[in-house]
Amino acid sequence: MENIPALDRPWSRRHFLKQTAAAVTAAALSPHATLAASPKRAAPVPRCITMWDFSWIERRWPGAGYEDWPAVLDELLDRGYDAIRLDAFPHLVATAPEKEWTLLPVWQVHDWGSPAINRVRIQPGLHQFIGLCAERGIKVGLSSWYREDAEQTRLKIANAGIMAEQWVVTLEGLRRAGLLDTILYVDLCNEWPGDLWAPFFRNEPPELTWGGWHTEASMRWMRESCAAVRREFPELPIGYSFEPREPERLEGIDLGFADYAEPHLWMAQANDGEFYKLTGYKYDRFTFDSYNAVAAKGEATYRARPGYWQEVLRDRVRRVAAGLRPHRLPLMTTECWGVVDYRDWPLLDWNWVKELCEIGVETAAATGQWAAIATSNFAGPQFHGMWRDVAWHQRLNAQIRRAAVLPELHGSKLVRRLQGVGPTGSGDMSGSQ
């Protein structure tokens, strides 16, 4: 990696004044503003989180969005976010952290990560990036998409114990670097057990990949890996993210091995993918056929019945929330709310996507079950049409901060960590900057 920013880069006076003003504004908008002024700790409010996946380190060529980490993190604060979910590459860190790895593209048509072969060194970049987050009060959720490298390192994960050990090595490095207090939670695998991200796992039956988290083989792997990481890091909330394609399966399953649930929820996947079937979107990864289909029919399909599609999304969020409430787990969602895939492209307008995202945020916040809420999975600098609307991000994040967390969840490990003591020994993690 080149041009990795130094940890001791000072903030400018202008940025300090901007952040002070933003903090005052956020406090004024918060329903807990009067509590915050008293010695009593404020009631917990959700984190405003965004997903920077593997883009944070892969997209560093000129114009890719993440070339200047301090600058883009300041932009993140300007938009009202205070948490990031990113890929820690545990399989590569545990194997050779400072090696230059050759990564193969998982797709060429989407703007997450690199559309071509790329080379990265995970360390010291991982610690430096998280250190920059720590300086700014930004908390970090760690995940992994188990990116494919030229040596197929991820396929060496033969069992849950190996996965857990790789995470333990990664987290131990953060502990030695004094950065563990910046970690909000750990998601051991993105959208388990989707075959793009977990090709090392063979489900029973094997055709159950996306959405196949509920099988006994899958549950056994998750239980074993969570328990092994928790033994070494009992203070960290541990779990998995997943796609609850059949919300009714959430009932009656023992999720006690996890400290939270992270469902990824989109209108486009509801009703067995009704919206995408109507528009002709087929999740193409290496051709633009699906994007051309959405350009031709996506907004028109939505605008023909906006009330219907908005209610489809509300119903999706409420059903998943209802299915998870008996488990008494705080929820987080970092990939959401309208369509799964989108980008800056001819005839693709962001306004209708943002309309649906507002519905998703509003619905999730109203349940009181979410401890961290994303505005979409496009809240990153590479999505120019979304990123440039600063006021939109600020408005939605202010709404997230006004949300309450159900009292029954206040004792959970994740919510307690939201309010925990920061790296200095006196910092408040309640959600205000």
Domain harbouring 283, CATH code:
3.20.20.80
Per-residue pLDDT, averaged over 195-206, amounts to: 96
| Span of 181-195, 221-235, 302-316, 410-424 with lowest mean pLDDT | 410-424
Per-residue pLDDT, averaged over 267-281, amounts to: 97
| Span of 40-54, 134-148, 305-319 with lowest mean pLDDT | 40-54
- pLDDT above 60: residue 398: yes
- Nearest to 320, CA basis, from 252, 265, 365: 265
Domain membership flag for residue 156 = yes
Other CB atoms within 10 Å distance of the CB of residue 227: 13
Domain membership flag for residue 7 = no
> Quick one: pLDDT at residue 101?
98
What six digits make up the tokens of 178? 């004094």
Q: Share the mean pLDDT of the chain.
A: 89
27 confidence band (pLDDT: 50, 70, 90): very low
CA distance 330 to 406: 9
385 confidence band (pLDDT: 50, 70, 90): very high
Domain membership flag for residue 394 = yes
> Quick one: pLDDT at residue 251?
82
Domain membership flag for residue 114 = yes
Around 64, how many Cα atoms within 13 Å sit in the side-chain half-sphere?
22
Domain membership flag for residue 429 = no
Per-residue pLDDT, averaged over 291-317, amounts to: 98
Per-residue pLDDT, averaged over 395-400, amounts to: 98
For tokens 């349940």, name the residue: 367
- pLDDT above 80: residue 69: yes
Residue-number span of the structural domain to which 84 is assigned: 41-418
42 confidence band (pLDDT: 50, 70, 90): confident
Report helix angle 270-279 to 289-304, nearest 10. Answer: 110
> Quick one: pLDDT at residue 259?
98
41 confidence band (pLDDT: 50, 70, 90): low
- pLDDT above 50: residue 345: yes
CA distance 167 to 327: 25
| Span of 17-26, 51-60, 74-83 with lowest mean pLDDT | 17-26
Domain count, the chain: 1
Domain membership flag for residue 57 = yes
What's at 69, amino acid-wise? W
222 confidence band (pLDDT: 50, 70, 90): very high
- pLDDT above 80: residue 28: no
- pLDDT above 90: residue 323: yes
- pLDDT tens sequence across 239-272: 999 999 888 888 889 999 999 999 999 999 999 9
Domain membership flag for residue 22 = no
- pLDDT above 80: residue 431: no
> Quick one: pLDDT at residue 40?
59
Bond preceding residue 247 cis, omega within 30 of 0: no
> Quick one: pLDDT at residue 15?
44
Per-residue pLDDT, averaged over 410-414, amounts to: 96
> Quick one: pLDDT at residue 92?
98
Instruction: Name the residue with higher pLDDT: 114 or 22.
Output: 114
Per-residue pLDDT, averaged over 268-290, amounts to: 97
Domain membership flag for residue 399 = yes
| Span of 130-139, 319-328, 414-423 with lowest mean pLDDT | 414-423
- pLDDT above 80: residue 4: no
